[in-house]
Amino acid sequence: MDFKMLCVQAVLGLTPYQPGKPVEELARELGLDAEKIVKLASNENPLGPSPRALAAMERALPDCARYPDGSGFSLKRALAGKLGVKPEQITLGNGSNDVLDLIARTFLGPDRSAVFSEHAFAVYPISVQSVGAESRVAKAHDGSRGPSYGHDLGAMLGQVADDTTVVFIANPNNPTGTYVTTKALGDFLEALPPQVLAVVDEAYFEYVDTEDYPDSLQWLDRFPNLIVTRTFSKAYGLAGLRVGYAVSHPDVAELLNRVRQPFNVNALALAAAEAALGDEAYLQRSRRLNREGLAFLQSALQARRLECIPSVGNFITVDVGREAGPVFEGLLRQGVIVRPVANYGMPRHLRVSVGTAEENTVFIQALDKVLGC
pLDDT reading at 95 higher than 80? yes
Structurally, how many domains does the chain consist of?
2
pLDDT of residue 369: 97
pLDDT of residue 4: 83
pLDDT of residue 153: 98
CATH number, domain containing residue 332? 3.90.1150.10
Domain annotation covers residue 59: yes
pLDDT of residue 253: 98
pLDDT reading at 19 higher than 90? no
Mean pLDDT of 189-199: 98
CATH number, domain containing residue 106? 3.40.640.10
Query: Do the Cβ atoms of 232 and 243 come closer than 8 Å?
Result: yes
Question: Are 269 and 287 in the same domain?
Answer: no
Query: pLDDT for 178-189, tens place per residue?
Result: 999 999 999 999
pTM for this structure? 0.95
5 band by pLDDT with thresholds 50, 70 and 90? confident
Question: Are 256 and 297 in the same domain?
Answer: no
pLDDT of residue 33: 93
pLDDT reading at 252 higher than 80? yes
The domain of 367 spans 9-39+281-371
13 band by pLDDT with thresholds 50, 70 and 90? confident
pLDDT reading at 9 higher than 90? no
DSSP per residue over 224-265, as a string?
TTEEEEEESSSTT--GGG--EEEE--HHHHHHHHHHSPTT-S
Mean pLDDT of 235-248: 98
Question: Are 124 and 245 in the same domain?
Answer: yes
φ/ψ of 24, rounded to 5, equals -65, -35
15 band by pLDDT with thresholds 50, 70 and 90? confident
Domain annotation covers residue 139: yes
Helices (H), 84-174: 96-107, 123-130, 153-159
pLDDT of residue 2: 87
In terms of DSSP bridges, do strands 339-340 and 90-93 run parallel, antiparallel, or are they unpaired?
unpaired
Query: Do the Cβ atoms of 363 and 355 come closer than 8 Å?
Result: yes
Q: Which of 139, 136, 171, 134 is closest to 154 using CA atoms?
A: 139
CA distance linking residue 254 with residue 60, whole number of Å: 28
Domain annotation covers residue 44: no
Query: pLDDT for 35-52, tens place per residue?
Result: 999 999 999 999 999 999
pLDDT of residue 18: 79
Question: Are 301 and 184 in the same domain?
Answer: no
Q: Which of 250, 279, 308 is the last residue before a domain boundary?
A: 279
List CB contacts of 94: < 8 A, sequence separation 6 or more. 242, 243, 244, 261, 264, 265
CA distance linking residue 335 with residue 327, whole number of Å: 13
CA distance linking residue 256 with residue 313, whole number of Å: 28
Question: Are 69 and 110 in the same domain?
Answer: yes
Question: Are 220 and 94 in the same domain?
Answer: yes
Domain annotation covers residue 1: no
SS3 for 38?
strand
CA distance linking residue 42 with residue 40, whole number of Å: 6
Considering the chain, what is the average pLDDT of its residues? 96
Domain annotation covers residue 46: no
Domain annotation covers residue 4: no
Question: Are 156 and 192 in the same domain?
Answer: yes
Question: Are 143 and 262 in the same domain?
Answer: yes
Q: Which of 262, 279, 296 is the last residue before a domain boundary?
A: 279
Question: Are 267 and 315 in the same domain?
Answer: no
Question: Are 314 and 235 in the same domain?
Answer: no
Domain annotation covers residue 190: yes
Domain annotation covers residue 363: yes
pLDDT reading at 1 higher than 90? no
Query: pLDDT for 274-317, tens place per residue?
Result: 999 999 999 999 999 999 999 999 999 999 999 999 999 999 99
Q: Which of 279, 310, 337 is the last residue before a domain boundary?
A: 279
pLDDT reading at 256 higher than 90? yes
pLDDT of residue 90: 98
pLDDT reading at 12 higher than 90? no
List CB contacts of 238: < 8 A, sequence separation 6 or more. 49, 53, 232, 269, 272, 273, 276
270 band by pLDDT with thresholds 50, 70 and 90? very high
Tell me the CB-side half-sphere exposure of residue 115, using CA atoms within 13 A: 23
Question: Are 90 and 167 in the same domain?
Answer: yes
11 band by pLDDT with thresholds 50, 70 and 90? confident
Query: pLDDT for 203-230, tens place per residue?
Result: 999 999 999 999 999 999 999 999 999 9
The sheet with strand 339-340 has its strands ordered as: 307-309, 315-319, 349-353, 339-340
pLDDT reading at 348 higher than 90? yes
Query: pLDDT for 108-159, tens place per residue?
Result: 999 999 999 999 999 999 999 999 999 999 999 999 988 999 999 999 999 9
